[in-house]
Amino acid sequence: MKSMHVYLSTVLLLAAAGDGAVAQTTGLAGLEWDELSLAVKAIESASKPDEAMAAYARGCTKNRQSAKLQKAYMRRMLKFGRPDVAYYPAKELTEIDPRDGIAWGVLGYRAAKGKQYVAALPPALKAVTCDADNEPVCRNAAQLVVWYEHGQRSPVSAQVRSLIRRVTSSPDYPKFKAAYSKAKQGLAQLAKDEAKKKKEADAASAEAKQLEQKYEQLRTKLKSVGRSYESERRRLDTLRRDLDRAEDSIRRTTDYRARQSAERRRDTVIRSYRRAQEDARKHLREGKKIRDDMDKAKDEYESKKAHAQRLLREAHAVKEGMPSGFLFQPPAVDGVVTPDATLNPAKAGTPKARPKTGGGSYLAPARPAPTPDAAPTQPLNELVAEAEAADKLSLAKICMDSKDAAMKSKAKALLTEVLTKYPTTKAAGEAKGLLAKLQ
């Protein structure tokens, strides 16, 4: 009875003290769960990504394997439009709670946005089987399946082929089937458009060939006119010498009859000289016109050739990658799809706040605001790697702050993973120094 009385007294004191008592009685059983619950609530009520990140970091120090914690953080980040940050908790959730369709959907979405379409198939299909009412999840998977079925792709496992048969044939996935049918219709229309563009490209190529032949014909003609012009120039030189001799003969002749004969020869040479001059000018004018026609034919040829090449690229769009009409979206949370904010960066001059956790580390890198002269942004795969590496580095730092040997061991494992899996990221350099301290 005395022990029961002490226990009830303790409970009443805790109830009266509220949160203050919780903060001061860290040795009581169940307190870790209370702090974890507080972290989950803080994530769910966070008004900014950095608030959710800080709460998530606190929760990870208590129980990183909590499905409730990982799910709350993933869903909150999706609502903030940050599927790149939601990727890490989603990956954890697929191991902790393999029936979470949104988590599988995040993995499929990130792989698809990284143009790793074959790798995106398994998680995207798994997401459909777990969350058949999530429209973006169904649409993403349907587009991937249609794309895969359209051509000869990299081989997939028997398990993936079984998933494809399951979702395409079972009546349990009506939203997937509707998206699948729409995607097939879109691809069929695209095939028609491609055939039309291929025909147009062939016609444009034929026209370009004709223009090229016309250019070569004009070039040959210009060479002929050039030879004629040079011949007239040589003739003019000869006539000019004949005229000089005739004039000299006139000056030196004193006999009247001989002088008249020399003047007649001179007049004949002058007439021939003028005709040769006119012929030379004619060849020059003709050559200029041919040169202008050549320039025009060359411009038309290059333009038509570029047009044909563009049509050919468009005609083979599916063979080169995913059809442009197939768009991927993050999974819906509570029926609402929040667009991926990382694909629509803030305008220049409006810098994004970079959420911090303890120790000055970041749970995910913020994207810099683009400027007109900025260098091209990193490819999506590199951004995903940077985000994952930064996440793991931050969690490793949190684990290092703990006095628990298991947490220290976990920190070492996380740092090693950053170095081996993401060696080219910025986080890898810092991870190397931290790992040296733990040795």
pLDDT of residue 196: 80
The mean per-residue pLDDT over the stretch 60-74 comes to 93
Separation in Å, CA 43 to CA 32, 52, 84, 195, 394: 17, 4, 17, 52, 17
Q: Yes or no: say if 47 and 353 are a contact pair by the CB < 8 Å rule.
A: no
C-beta of residue 76 within 8 angstroms of C-beta of residue 59: no
pLDDT at 434 over 50: yes
Burial of 48 by CB count in 10 Å (0-12 exposed, 13-18 middle, 19+ buried)? Answer: exposed
158 contacts 122 by C-beta, under 8 angstroms? no
Residue 357 predicted with pLDDT over 80? no
> Is it the case that residue 16 has pLDDT exceeding 90?
no
Least confident segment among 126-130, 279-283, 294-298, 343-347: 343-347
Q: Is the pLDDT of residue 361 over 50?
A: no
pLDDT at 269: 85
> Tell me, what's the pLDDT at 95?
93
- pLDDT given at position 164: 92
Q: Give mean pLDDT, residues 187-215.
A: 82
Indicate if the pLDDT at residue 89 is higher than 90.
Answer: yes
Residue range 81-99: mean pLDDT, rounded: 94
Cα separations in angstroms, 97 against 104, 193, 318:
10, 44, 36
| 138 band by pLDDT with thresholds 50, 70 and 90 | very high
State mean pLDDT over 234-242.
Answer: 86
Q: Where are the alpha helices (DSSP H) in 131-255?
A: 135-150, 158-169, 174-252
pLDDT of 346 above 90: no
pTM value is: 0.53
In 3D space, the residue among 122, 63, 136, 47 whose CA is nearest the CA of residue 96 turns out to be 63
Is the Cβ–Cβ distance between 324 and 313 less than 8 Å? no
- The torsion angles phi and psi of 416, rounded to 5 degrees, stand at -60, -40
Q: pLDDT (tens digit, 9 = 90+) per residue, 287-299?
A: 888 888 888 888 8
Q: Of residues 134 and 24, which shows the higher confidence score?
A: 134
Torsion of CA 251, 252, 254, 255, to 10 degrees: -100
Structural contact between residues 140 and 176, judged by C-beta atoms closer than 8 angstroms: no
At residue 379 the predicted structure's pLDDT band, cuts being 50, 70 and 90, is very low
Q: In this structure, are residues 67 and 98 in contact, taking their beta carbons and an 8 Å threshold?
A: no
Mean pLDDT for the chain overall: 79
Residue 424 has a CB neighbour count (10 Å cut-off) of 10
Q: Which residue has the higher pLDDT, 32 or 125?
A: 125
What pLDDT does 18 receive?
41
Q: By three-state DSSP, how is residue 117 classified? A: helix
Of residues 123 and 394, more confidently modeled: 123
Q: How far apart are CA 395 and CA 65, in angstroms?
A: 13
Query: From the CA atom positions of the chain, what is the Rg in Å?
Result: 40
Looking at residue 82, what DSSP letter applies?
Answer: -
- Taking the domains of the chain in order of start, what are their residue ranges? 198-320, 355-438
| 204 or 193, which is more confident | 204
Please give the Cα distance from 382 to 84 (Å, whole number): 11
Q: Mutual orientation of helices 83-96 and 380-400 as an angle, nearest 10°? A: 60
The 3-state DSSP class for residue 333 equals strand
Residue 304 has pLDDT above 60, yes or no: yes
Element (H, E) at 5: helix 2-17
- Which residue from 422, 340, 328, 317 is spatially nearest to 111, judged by alpha carbons? 328
pLDDT in tens, 388-425: 777 778 777 767 766 667 777 878 888 898 888 888 88
pLDDT given for residue 167 in this prediction: 93
pLDDT digits (tens, 9 = 90+) for 105-122: 999 999 999 888 889 999
Give the separation between CA 137 and CA 185, rounded to whole angstroms: 19
Cβ contacts of 90 within 8 Å, gap of 6 or more: 70, 74, 100, 102, 103, 104, 106, 107
| pLDDT tens readout for residues 174-199 | 999 999 999 988 888 777 777 787 78
What share of the chain in percent tops pLDDT 70? 79
Q: Looking at per-residue confidence, does 20 or 240 come out higher?
A: 240
Please give the average per-residue pLDDT across 366-386, as a whole number.
44
